[in-house]
Structure 1
Amino acid sequence: MKRIGFAFLIGVLRLCAVLPYGWVARVGHGLGLVLYAIPSRRRHIALTNLRLCFPNRTDAEYEALGRAHFAHVVRSYLERGVQWFGSEKAIRRLVQVESHIDLAADASVPTIFMGFHFVAIEVGCMQYSAGAPVASLYTRMSSQRMCDLAKRQRGRFGAQMIERGESARKVVSILRAGTPVMLAADMDQGIKNSVFVPFFDVPACTLTSVSRLAKLGRARVVPFITEVLPDYQGYKLTIFKPLEGFPSASEEEDARRMNEFLETQVRRLPEQYYWVHRRFKHRPEGLAPVY
């Protein structure tokens, strides 16, 4: 049954890759609204996160934002068909790019592209990898089949896929050789190599890997965001200027600055951030669990 289910999933994704993008996006949006109406653990997690990060809103406002978020999340799952199985041309057609740095002129500078878990993060990474060498860190999934599929399809334009947790020496050697590294460090991965710093004034267990790798690789840290454009027009990848004075002498201060940058983008696109993740899974000693 697991093999049949996996084969069905592949079939759905391949179908989504050949259907018009607007159709797929609209179906995903509608399905997300239906699924939000059904009580679930993920809905509970999303609403808990929203209440923590945006206090003093009304119940109706939380419901509206949660519903819009579910529509984006489910839509992103179907749109992965285009991202994983669509042509390079199709992806380039869908993704607008705005860069605040000269990517070609600065190609030799050791660079960490620091992404965040907005719903469209994957398509931005794949669009970049279609045009330039890059390595990308990923987190192993619980399903080996899905992990192998995701790794293969995410790297199909030449991105070097590196499992999070592999030797830091490997990542550093890649940086010093002139290949940029893409990673996202805005999820709760446990208290090891993490610090508690505010995220919307809530203590959040935040990885310090960006700061450490930047120091070891003597790399600049360049944030990027991929957002979903309105009216089913595709996506926009924005590459920002490098963070000044990053990394600093303090990993905690670097983690704080990373969260502050992320907050500014979440406030701009609140429905597109990945609220269904347990961002506050680990809590400082003495604070009660929130989920």
Structure 2
Amino acid sequence: MSKLTSKLGIGFMRALAHVPFPLVRGFGAVLGRVLHVLAVPRRRVVDTNLALCFPTRSEAERRRMARQTFVYVAQSWFDRSWLWHAPEAVVARRLKVVGAADVIEEIAHGHEPMILFAPHFYGLDAAATALTMHTDRPSTTIYTTQRDPMIDQWVSEGRKRFGNVITLNRVDGIKPIVAGLRKGGLLYLLPDMDFGRDQTVFVPFYGVQAATVPSLSRFARLGRAKVVPVVSKLTPDGYEIEVLPAWKDFPSDDAVADTALMNQRLQGYIDTMPSQYYWVHRRFKTRPEGERPVY
């Protein structure tokens, strides 16, 4: 991507931040339907994921889920325009935090180490923004560097717009993450993707062995932190961010068992709104030894 293209793209998103919200969502709906038709390789990834994870659902039902997930992809991307560039009052009006009131209060004003387990629903950036808007606690998030430096800087600045946010690259190691937790910070963690074979374990995800990093268990243990799930949902008015009660008896001394439990509980969250999960990711690209590729 050229510098000019990057500048134009970022400029477009800045301008889109001031477009009426129904139009932004409408643009996303149209683009999502177009992508479902034209982005054939990515559609095949989604179709494969849905077939593996929901084998008892009809083809017609899975097709509807696939079309809707592309709409959510596009809408959540366009929503980053106002999340990162609209006036603060506009952003706050479109983000609703619900759930365990005592935990929400602790996120905002507590001092104990806490990991916010944020699965890859399409509203994950909205959830991070909503929570950092209402706390001065240091918050760390781990990210993958974008190929284009200009886009990478734009994404990083957007995610650090509110609150006291530290963004760390995966290559930075675990020391700054654990240090931040032990100082009473928050860690916004998204461990439910396939990052390859290194430092992963194979545990079931919808009955399919999936390469999964055991970082939730590891960081909770090393940082002596409680784990709080945060589930983000696109709504007609913006986003609803549900903060669930902290997990009890987690972590254990068995990181593999903890990671299997994480996936099991994640399935329960996904089942409430399956089209809003990040099915465009090749979740099963790394296979156990001897198993054939699925994509």
TM class by shorter-chain length?
over 0.9
Choose which of 268, 272, 278 in structure 2 pairs with 1:274.
278
**Aligned mates of 1:204, 1:167 — CA distance in 2:** 23
| More moved, 140-149 vs 277-286 | 140-149
Choose which of 241, 249, 254 in structure 2 pairs with 1:250.
254
Amino acid at match of 1:104: E
Could you tell me which runs of 5 or more consecutive residues in structure 1 were left unpaired when the two chains were aligned: none
Amino acid at match of 2:252: S
The question of whether the paired residues in 2 share the 8 Å contact of 1:138 and 1:183 is answered with no
- Cα deviation, 1:100-156, whole Å, max 9, x if unaligned, reads 133334611110111011111101101111111222221222332222211111102
**SS across alignment from 1:196:** strand
- Cα deviation, 1:159-211, whole Å, max 9, x if unaligned, reads 11122231312111111111111110000011222111011001111111111
| More moved, 256-265 vs 142-151 | 142-151
Amino acid at match of 1:147: D
* Count of paired positions: 289
- Cα deviation, 1:225-263, whole Å, max 9, x if unaligned, reads 11011xx21110111111111111111111011101110
Calculate the aligned-residue CA RMSD, in Å: 1.4
Amino acid at match of 1:46: V
Structure 1 residue ranges, 4+ long, deviating more than 2 angstroms after superposition: 56-59, 101-106, 141-145
Which residue of structure 2 lines up, in the alignment, with residue 197 of structure 1? 203
**Aligned mates of 1:83, 1:165 — CA distance in 2:** 27
Could you tell me which runs of 5 or more consecutive residues in structure 2 were left unpaired when the two chains were aligned: none
Amino acid at match of 2:189: L
Choose which of 121, 124, 127 in structure 2 pairs with 1:124.
127
Q: Is 2:241 the partner of 1:241?
A: no
The question of whether the paired residues in 1 share the 8 Å contact of 2:3 and 2:150 is answered with no
The question of whether the paired residues in 1 share the 8 Å contact of 2:16 and 2:82 is answered with yes
Which residue of structure 2 lines up, in the alignment, with residue 155 of structure 1? 160
Shift of 1:10: 0.8
- TM-score for the superposition, normalised by structure 1: 0.95
- The within-5 A match list for 1:64-83 is 64-83=64-83
**Aligned mates of 1:111, 1:39 — CA distance in 2:** 39
Which residue of structure 2 lines up, in the alignment, with residue 207 of structure 1? 213
Identity, in percent, stands at 34
Change (3 A) 1:94 1:225: same
Amino acid at match of 1:73: V
Shift of 1:39: 4.9
**SS across alignment from 2:105:** coil
**SS across alignment from 2:251:** coil
**SS across alignment from 2:167:** strand
